[in-house]
Amino acid sequence: MELYIVSDIGGTQIRVAAHDSSTLSCIDQKKIATQRQGQYPIQRLINLIRDISKDHILKAISIGVPGFLDLEKGIILNCPNIPGWVNFPIRQILTEQFNVPIYINNDANLAALGEWKYGIGQGHKNLLYLTISTGIGSGVIINNQLLLGTKGLAGELGHTTLEPNGPLCGCGQYGHLEALASGTAIKAYVEAQIESGRSSTLSGSINFQGNDIFLAARNGDSLAFEAYQRAGKYLGMAIANFLHIFNPSIVILGGGVTQVGDLLFKPTESSLRDHVIRPEYIDMLQLTKSSLGDDVGLQGALAYLVLNNGNQII
């Protein structure tokens, strides 16, 4: 069988799926830990692709990477979760290994494309996708095209300043959306408040995680509840900015943090309504959860491959 291989590389897992290149149906999926002592992530990826495609003919590979890419050169400029991938020539390495077309892009860009082509974004010409997770990633579809910009560095909506004197962001700047509304930001806020003497049921626990904050909020912990309210306030404010900038017809929220549901969505919607400058921006707007869930990255990589292989330039 002739195969398209798609991959979603995360800080924790590398996922790979094999699709029949004529029907596009998925024939196999595999995953593996990204890091393991003594093995480079790229070698683990290559092994996984070899493994899933053995006994078949490989036609093309498409990969989503959680980092900054130079799309022209096919280089990963920086990938915060994989420390060795700085100015990393991933396309060249994979081309040498497999000698087929290699498509790479930012994982959140591909997620936007996945929702637009196969998910809840179908039929929307202007779409905004945000993934609220450890960080905040994003992808934008404008007029049925993926927003890439001059060098492919567009769509970094998590790295826009909302509070110039706000908390430090992972990128080194202050008060970015990511530093105010990501999972990391929610945890940092709870920690800082406890540190400053606020009481919380989380005070005693060592190294609590996002799920602990969620459970605490659900059980009436006012600090935990407030942490989500605060994240939602900033997220709604940021989405209002993005509506004024892009005027999309759908905003899709994905990523682990959105699993808390109304705890985040309610303050987000309320803040969004408070911050839009004209009702037309939200009159027909769909604000919704991701429909593809964990598969959004793989589906996006498939969409990207199909669109590029068919010479429809995205």
* Interface ranges with its own copies (CB under 8 A): 68, 70, 77-78, 125-126, 142-143, 145, 147-157, 159-164, 171-173, 237, 240-241, 244-249, 275, 277-278, 280-281, 284
Residue closer to its own copies (CB basis): 39 or 247: 247
What the block records as the tokens of 220 is 């009436």
Residue closer to its own copies (CB basis): 147 or 190: 147
Least CB distance from residue 244 to its own copies, whole Å?
4
How far is residue 177's CA from residue 185's CA, in Å, rounded to a whole number? Answer: 9
Least CB distance from residue 132 to its own copies, whole Å?
17
Cβ atoms within 10 Å of 170's Cβ, excluding its own: 17
Residue closer to its own copies (CB basis): 28 or 226: 226
Cα-flanking dihedrals φ and ψ of residue 123, to 5°? Answer: 90, -10
Residue closer to its own copies (CB basis): 208 or 242: 242
Residue closer to its own copies (CB basis): 37 or 165: 165
Least CB distance from residue 193 to its own copies, whole Å?
19
The secondary structure of the chain, three-state, reads CEEEEEEEECCCEEEEEEEECCCCCEEEEEEEECCECCECHHHHHHHHHHHHHCCCEEEEEEEEECCEEECCCCEEEECCCCCCCEEECHHHHHHHHHCCCEEEEEHHHHHHHHHHHHCCCCCCCCEEEEEECCCEEEEEEECCEECCCCCCCCCCHHHCECCCCCCECCCCCECEHHHHHCHHHHHHHHHHHHHCCCCCCCCCCCCCCHHHHHHHHHCCCHHHHHHHHHHHHHHHHHHHHHHHHHCCCEEEEECHHHHHCHHHHHHHHHHHHHHCCCCHHHHCCEEEECCCHHHHHHHHHHHHHHHHHCCCCC
Cα-flanking dihedrals φ and ψ of residue 307, to 5°? Answer: -65, -40
Least CB distance from residue 140 to its own copies, whole Å?
8
Residue closer to its own copies (CB basis): 3 or 141: 141
Q: List residues bridging with 250 in a β-sheet.
A: 127, 286
Residue closer to its own copies (CB basis): 2 or 280: 280
Least CB distance from residue 38 to its own copies, whole Å?
31
Least CB distance from residue 211 to its own copies, whole Å?
29
Least CB distance from residue 121 to its own copies, whole Å?
13
Least CB distance from residue 142 to its own copies, whole Å?
6
Least CB distance from residue 172 to its own copies, whole Å?
7
* 65 in Cβ contact with 9 (< 8 Å): yes
Residue closer to its own copies (CB basis): 77 or 188: 77
Residue closer to its own copies (CB basis): 149 or 261: 149
